[in-house]
């Protein structure tokens, strides 16, 4: 068992950290205040190869392993969780299903611009009545001539308002339940694709979350991704990868909370000494560091298992669940260590607390991760 990163992985981590320090951290509070999508950062992430880290080079990606992708996602999220999820959704939820299930023609047309960061992707699974119960969806793709016509409403779509390319899950045989779901790759600018509204959110406010309505959207047969009626499997396998990306996002948020806490506790004085000299503060910092290290091991291991090509639902669920709760814990403790200042927008940690909470919810709630883990260990 080896715990060291390769020199290539270490370089990716360092490059992402420096990029986050220089291009993200100085602006993150303003983007959050203004709920502004950081298009200029997304463009630069594309130039660095971070929008398609594990996509083969022949399809415009960086051709690196999942561990490298996770290292980059962690550091970008350390800079700003919104930038982290924009990147993660493009890599995990838009590029990956095209790499795994796309034809060469689909890869050339749809995947390559996504992996280069020239276009942005989104993943359309959830619906108003189908969140955790993803198989209960009602978006329909009706067969007509040489294609299909899609009608329905998709909710909580990260990148939805800025995306160019959508991976859309539809019912092609509603009687068959999850065995009647089919995935399509859809042009977000196609006639009938309407961004109905964007959510006003507690955190990750620089990343957009949209409701998208599909009104008689015509797609050709060659936009079908994978086999007809195999879409639920495509969706679930995609989320197995996506959940490692969210675990990495949570690590970045938690690490930022830890670093702010250490810095502040050395500077802030009460009772004539820095508060970091009190055990009450030291114990909080020790627990944050320990939990983060454990979360990191679970997350990197899930990424390494994914790279072996075997099913990794359990490993991903454990990584996401543990990392998310760790991020929330670290952010809350950071606010507590900062005291009244922690509750103020003048200081950076209240944003971390707002950003961390979504990790408990999207790409499968903590409860869903427990369902996946239990199903795996009890089978």
State the binding string over 79-118 for ligand CAA (x if CB under 6 A, else -): ----------x-----------------------------
CA dihedral angle for residue 199, residue 87, residue 178, residue 240, rounded to 10 degrees? -130
Structure token pair of residue 33: 């205040």
Q: Catalytic annotation on 267?
A: no
Nearer Cβ to ligand CAA, position 20 or 85?
Answer: 85
Shortest Cβ distance from residue 303 to ligand CAA (Å)?
16
Nearer Cβ to ligand CAA, position 67 or 358?
Answer: 358
- What does residue 90 show for φ and ψ, rounded to 5 degrees? -65, -45
Rounded distance between C-alpha atoms, residue 151 and residue 210, angstroms: 17
Among candidate residues 293, 350, 363, 379, the one labeled active-site is 363
Query: First-to-last CA distance in the chain?
Result: 27
3-class secondary-structure state, position 278: coil
Contact flag: residue 134 with ligand CAA (CB under 6 A): yes
Q: Residue count at the site for ligand CAA (CB under 6 A)?
A: 25
Q: Which parts of 173-212 interact with ligand CAA (CB under 6 A)?
A: 178-179
Among 20, 67, 125, 244, binds ligand CAA (CB under 6 A): 125
C-alpha distances (whole Å) from 99 to each of 21, 26, 203 are 31, 34, 31
- Are β-strands 209-220 and 269-270 bridged in parallel, bridged antiparallel, or unpaired? unpaired
Shortest Cβ distance from residue 93 to ligand CAA (Å)?
6
Structure token pair of residue 151: 């009608």
CA gyration radius, the chain: 21
Shortest Cβ distance from residue 8 to ligand CAA (Å)?
28
Shortest Cβ distance from residue 219 to ligand CAA (Å)?
20
Q: At what angle do helices 349-357 and 313-338 cross, to 10 degrees?
A: 150
Return the range that interacts with ligand CAA (CB under 6 A); candidates 165-173, 186-194, 231-239, 295-303.
Answer: 231-239
Nearer Cβ to ligand CAA, position 138 or 268?
Answer: 138
Q: What is the largest CA-CA distance in the chain?
A: 79
Contact flag: residue 130 with ligand CAA (CB under 6 A): no
Q: Given phi > 0 = left and psi -120 to 50 = alpha, else beta, which region is 369?
A: alpha
Among 126, 223, 261, 326, binds ligand CAA (CB under 6 A): 126
Shortest Cβ distance from residue 153 to ligand CAA (Å)?
14
Nearer Cβ to ligand CAA, position 87 or 334?
Answer: 87
Burial class from Cβ neighbours inside 10 Å (0-12, 13-18, 19+) for residue 351 reads buried
Nearer Cβ to ligand CAA, position 137 or 299?
Answer: 137
Shortest Cβ distance from residue 194 to ligand CAA (Å)?
17
Rounded distance between C-alpha atoms, residue 182 and residue 170, angstroms: 5
Rounded distance between C-alpha atoms, residue 203 and residue 51, angstroms: 22
Q: Which parts of 285-324 interact with ligand CAA (CB under 6 A)?
A: 313
- Where are any strands of DSSP class E within 199-270? 209-220, 224-225, 269-270
Question: Which residues have a catalytic role annotated?
Answer: 363
Residues that bind ligand CAA (CB under 6 A): 89, 123, 125-126, 132, 134-135, 156-158, 178-179, 232-233, 236-237, 239-240, 313, 362-364, 368, 371-372
């Amino acid at each position: 068992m080896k715990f060291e990163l390769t020199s290539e992985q270490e370089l990716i981590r360092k490059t992402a950290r420096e990029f986050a320090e220089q291009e993200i951290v100085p602006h993150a509070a303003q983007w959050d205040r203004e709920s502004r999508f950081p298009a200029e950062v997304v463009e630069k992430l594309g130039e660095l190869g971070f929008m398609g880290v594990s996509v083969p080079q022949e399809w415009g990606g960086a051709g690196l392993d999942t561990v490298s992708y996770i290292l980059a996602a962690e550091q970008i999220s350390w800079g700003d969780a919104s930038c982290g999820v924009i990147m993660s959704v493009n890599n995990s939820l838009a590029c990956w299903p095209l790499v795994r299930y796309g034809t060469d023609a689909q890869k050339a047309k749809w995947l390559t611009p996504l992996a280069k960061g020239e276009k942005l992707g989104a993943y359309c699974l959830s619906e108003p009545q189908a969140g955790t119960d993803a198989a209960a969806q009602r978006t329909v793709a009706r067969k007509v001539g040489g294609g299909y016509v899609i009608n329905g409403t998709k909710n909580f779509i990260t990148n939805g308002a800025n995306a160019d390319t959508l991976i859309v899950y539809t019912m092609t045989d509603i009687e068959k339940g999850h065995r009647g779901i089919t995935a399509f790759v859809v042009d977000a600018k196609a006639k009938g694709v309407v961004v109905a509204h964007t959510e006003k959110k507690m955190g990750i406010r620089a990343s957009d979350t949209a409701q998208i309505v599909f009104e008689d959207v015509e797609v050709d047969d060659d936009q079908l991704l994978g086999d007809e009626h195999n879409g639920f499997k495509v969706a679930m396998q995609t989320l197995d990868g996506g959940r490692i990306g969210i675990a990495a996002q949570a690590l970045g948020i938690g690490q930022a909370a830890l670093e702010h806490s250490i810095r502040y506790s050395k500077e802030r004085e009460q009772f004539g000494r820095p508060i970091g000299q009190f055990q009450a503060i030291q114990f909080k910092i020790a627990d944050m560091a320990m939990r983060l290290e454990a979360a990191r091991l679970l997350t990197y291991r899930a990424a390494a298992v994914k790279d072996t090509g075997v099913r990794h639902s359990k490993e991903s669920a454990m990584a996401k669940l543990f990392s998310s709760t760790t991020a929330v814990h670290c952010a809350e403790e950071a606010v507590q260590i900062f005291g009244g200042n922690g509750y103020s927008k003048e200081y950076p940690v209240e944003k971390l607390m707002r950003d961390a909470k979504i990790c408990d919810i999207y790409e499968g709630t903590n409860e869903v991760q427990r369902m996946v883990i239990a199903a795996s260990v009890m089978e």
